[in-house]
Amino acid sequence: MRKFGQRGTRTGGSKLATLVLCLLAASCAWTGPARAQYFGQNKVQYKRFHFQVISSPHFDVYFYEGGDSLALRVLDLAEKANLKLKVDLGHVLERKVPIILYDSHNDFQQTNVILEDIGEGTGGFTEVLRNRVVIPFPGSYEELRHVVVHELTHAFMFDMLYGGGIANAITKRGYFDIPLWFAEGLAEWESLGWDANAEMFVRDGTISGYLPPLEYGEGYLVYKQGQAAMRYLVERFGPDRLRDLMQKMKFHRSFDRAFEASLGTTTMHFNQDLNEWLKRAYWPLVADKSSPELFARRLTDHRHDRSNINLGAAISPAGDRIAYISDRKQFTTCS
């Protein structure tokens, strides 16, 4: 989110307004701020969903006709994630977490759990007021596992720190901000560990010098930068310190105070140490390399064609053509 779980709607901060959703997107492109509250009416629904529920000790999975086997898989994934998260975060769920499952992204976009319009790039979210996870089947079982663990990490965090949801935290005056980089980085770390996709983004950002300070991160990059921060934290201080940090957040009701109490450093110094660690890891990779401009021809240049998307490059079998997805002609096409 980007508001704790989203990968699809831009938030830019972790204030209360940014905590309304936790969205995880399946793509790396982010859209603009969530548009339109639907005044006086719900979103258009093209189907009638007759939900049923299957339960386990810690989760209720809601599904509709045709989703029986998928719901059983999600329930199994959730219970396995529960075993991992209660050890990693040092917390046992105090109440069941509802998981609302849709068979397709088209069905998922019709949900009335939230009022915001859901774009194509959103792959799931954790609704923070009642701590409900809402996900579609993305067409890949591995991506389904990723989304389930990512969103349940948010659900665990809400249950642990806010007593199950922001509404409960506000009424008990127990609400406090959690930085976006930490919330999303932790969810990605618990779901993926350190993967090739994170390596690619963080390496390029370090070498090119465009990684912002952690507190100013946004868009898809904040997921990967936060993931790198979790890796650095665990490798430097150990996984036990991560659990200790979560416990101290619950006690101090302040991220900054808990961070200093647990790690013995401020978030600003932690960010500086992280950047130094990344430079030592990646700058030697380019020390003896020539600039690509000297031996290759640039195919895209967003500074001149104002494109935002140039993705999915694939080389033809003969090796003489490259196909990729681009929006440099105002429309997203295959070039």
- For residues 69 and 283, give the distance between their C-alpha atoms in angstroms, rounded to a whole number: 48
Sequence ranges of the domains in the chain: 16-272, 297-334
CB 182 within 8 A of CB 270: no
pLDDT in tens, 78-127: 999 999 999 999 999 989 999 999 999 999 999 988 888 888 888 899 98
CA angle (57 as vertex; 52, 62 as ends), nearest 5: 20
The mean-pLDDT minimum among 67-71, 185-189, 265-269, 280-284 falls in: 280-284
The mean-pLDDT minimum among 68-72, 114-118, 261-265 falls in: 114-118
CA angle (174 as vertex; 128, 96 as ends), nearest 5: 45
The one-letter amino acid at 328: R
What is the CATH superfamily name and number for domain 16-272? Answer: Neutral Protease Domain 2 (1.10.390.10)
* Structure confidence at residue 86 (pLDDT): 95
Q: What average pLDDT does this structure show over 172-186?
A: 86
Q: Give strand pairing partners of 287.
A: none
* Structure confidence at residue 167 (pLDDT): 65
pLDDT over threshold 70, residue 32: no
Q: How far is CA 161 from the centre of its chain?
A: 18
The tokens describing 306, both together, are 């104002």
* Structure confidence at residue 197 (pLDDT): 94
Q: Identify the H or E element spanning 109.
A: none
pLDDT over threshold 70, residue 23: no
The one-letter amino acid at 15: K
The tokens describing 318, both together, are 């003969």
Largest Cα span, the chain: 65
Please give the C-alpha separations between residue 26 and each of 48, 105, 180, 220, in angstroms, as whole numbers.
26, 11, 18, 10
The better pLDDT of the pair 275, 219 is held by 275
- For residues 99 and 206, give the distance between their C-alpha atoms in angstroms, rounded to a whole number: 37
The mean-pLDDT minimum among 63-72, 101-110, 168-177, 292-301 falls in: 168-177
pTM above 0.85, yes or no: no
Query: Residue 332 — pLDDT band, cuts 50, 70, 90?
Result: low
Q: 3-class SS at 230?
A: helix
DSSP3 helix / strand / coil % (the chain, rounded to 5): 45, 15, 40
Q: What average pLDDT does this structure show over 167-174?
A: 64
Query: Residue 30 — pLDDT band, cuts 50, 70, 90?
Result: very low
Q: What average pLDDT does this structure show over 141-150?
A: 97
* Structure confidence at residue 87 (pLDDT): 95
